């Protein structure tokens, strides 16, 4: 590798990291009394744990070249199940959380069934499933926010802290490590990448592509359910329309993350870094006095830019939507 090639490779891998550091320094200098405080840093780290888990859930099927837009609605139904079962029906919070996890696994299995058996595109199936789940959430909640979730869940999510940071951040970090290990150090991770790069070639090579894709969709829904548990523990309540707000940011972070750390591949560290890059940008602009509508503009613009950069890194391969 030439010196120029080595510099370019480093720029691709760590450009997003450098950009994040530059933003942190810039906003800290411009607003030292509000932005450059440990309280603000810990709030940013903890408050985005749910989005990190959703993004990690998205990149699993994305690596296999499948889309899961139902994950946000799995999150919403998961948090609502906990609110209804624990807050209204009096179930122990752990039992309500298990019910939410079981729901996530079931939704993932249903998605996998229709996608792999009937050969329907994942975008269509998960869009339909997500809309159905949204209806279920509105039904069981009466279209109302449900509160009364046990304090014990909130205690292990946001009340107890390590280094001043809510524990939910460390749960998301552990999940990131787990996904990274599977992606980079297991045979499953290699098969997953192979399936995503060329499904027919992988099948002819002896890989059960349907099983790999199905497993990815189940894992995505499972992580969506876990994100819902974190959301319930963060808010102490469940909002029947809360999950939809995570979908666009998660896609933006997933694609932006694929241009960093492991350029050209959806990867957990790049995705997590992208989440905080986007959030730091929005938070800094809001501290500078920019109106709150900047959030939608920032995430929407970031998604288009992220997909464009991802395509450049991949050599402008046509997206199979």
Distance separating alpha carbons of residues 176 and 294, to the nearest angstrom: 28
Computed on alpha carbons and rounded to an integer, the radius of gyration of the chain in Å comes to 20
Above 80 in pLDDT, residue 318?
no
The answer to whether 192 touches 216, Cβ cutoff 8 Å, is: yes
77 located within any domain: yes
Above 70 in pLDDT, residue 313?
no
Which 8-state DSSP code applies to residue 2? Answer: -
In this predicted structure, what is the pLDDT of residue 309? 72
290 located within any domain: yes
> What element of type H or E holds 298?
helix 294-313
117, exposed or middle or buried, with CB in 10 Å at 0-12, 13-18, 19+?
exposed
pLDDT band at 295 (very low <50, low <70, confident <90, very high): confident
In this predicted structure, what is the pLDDT of residue 300? 82
320 located within any domain: no
Distance separating alpha carbons of residues 30 and 120, to the nearest angstrom: 51
Give 299 or 195, the one with higher predicted confidence.
195
In this predicted structure, what is the pLDDT of residue 321? 43
Mean pLDDT, rounded, for 295-300:
78
Name the nearest CA neighbour of 268 among 48, 46, 52, 44.
Answer: 52
CATH no. for residue 50? 1.10.3470.10
Beta strands per DSSP E along 167-222: none
C-alpha to C-alpha distances, 316 to 63, 94, 157, 309, 313, nearest whole angstrom: 17, 47, 41, 9, 7
141 located within any domain: yes
The answer to whether 3 touches 11, Cβ cutoff 8 Å, is: no
pLDDT band at 217 (very low <50, low <70, confident <90, very high): very high
Mean pLDDT, rounded, for 89-99:
97
Report the range of poorest mean pLDDT among 101-105, 116-120, 269-273, 293-297. 293-297
The backbone torsions φ and ψ at residue 242, rounded to the nearest 5 degrees and listed phi first, read -70, -35
Containing structural domain, residue 149: 19-27+34-313
The backbone torsions φ and ψ at residue 185, rounded to the nearest 5 degrees and listed phi first, read -130, 10
Distance separating alpha carbons of residues 62 and 308, to the nearest angstrom: 16
Number of domains in the chain: 1
319 located within any domain: no
Above 60 in pLDDT, residue 151?
yes
13 located within any domain: no
Distance separating alpha carbons of residues 104 and 174, to the nearest angstrom: 20
248 located within any domain: yes
Mean pLDDT of the chain: 91
pLDDT band at 303 (very low <50, low <70, confident <90, very high): confident
Whole-prediction pTM: 0.93
219 located within any domain: yes
Above 50 in pLDDT, residue 320?
no
In this predicted structure, what is the pLDDT of residue 80? 98
Q: How many CB atoms lie within 10 A of CB 201?
A: 12
């Amino acid at each position: 590798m030439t010196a120029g090639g080595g510099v370019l490779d480093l720029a691709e891998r760590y450009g997003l990291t450098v950009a994040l550091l530059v933003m942190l320094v810039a906003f800290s200098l411009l607003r030292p009394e509000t932005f450059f405080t440990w309280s603000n840093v810990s709030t940013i780290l903890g408050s985005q744990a749910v989005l990190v888990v959703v993004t990690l859930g998205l990149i699993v099927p994305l690596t296999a070249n499948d889309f899961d837009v139902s994950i946000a609605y799995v999150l919403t139904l998961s948090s609502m199940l906990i609110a209804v079962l624990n807050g209204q029906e009096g179930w122990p919070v752990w039992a309500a959380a298990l019910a939410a996890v079981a729901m996530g696994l079931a939704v993932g299995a249903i998605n996998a069934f229709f996608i792999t058996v009937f050969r329907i595109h994942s975008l269509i199936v998960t869009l339909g499933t997500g809309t159905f789940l949204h209806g279920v959430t509105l039904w069981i909640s009466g279209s109302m926010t449900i509160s009364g979730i046990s304090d014990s869940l909130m205690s292990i999510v946001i009340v107890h802290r390590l280094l001043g940071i809510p524990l939910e951040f460390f749960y998301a970090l552990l999940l990131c490590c787990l996904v990274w290990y599977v992606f980079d150090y297991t045979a499953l991770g290699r098969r997953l990448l192979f399936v995503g790069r060329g499904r027919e070639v992988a099948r002819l090579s002896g890989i059960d592509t349907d099983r790999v894709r199905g497993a990815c969709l189940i894992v995505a829904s499972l992580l969506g359910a876990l994100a819902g548990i974190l959301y319930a523990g963060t808010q102490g309540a469940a909002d029947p329309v809360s999950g939809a707000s995570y979908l666009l940011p998660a896609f933006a972070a997933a694609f932006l993350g694929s241009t960093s750390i492991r350029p050209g591949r959806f990867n957990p560290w790049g995705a997590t870094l992208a989440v905080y890059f986007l959030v730091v940008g929005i938070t800094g602009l809001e501290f500078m006095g920019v109106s709150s509508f900047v959030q939608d503009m920032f995430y929407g613009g970031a998604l288009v830019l992220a997909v464009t950069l991802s395509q450049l890194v991949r050599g402008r391969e046509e997206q199979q939507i």
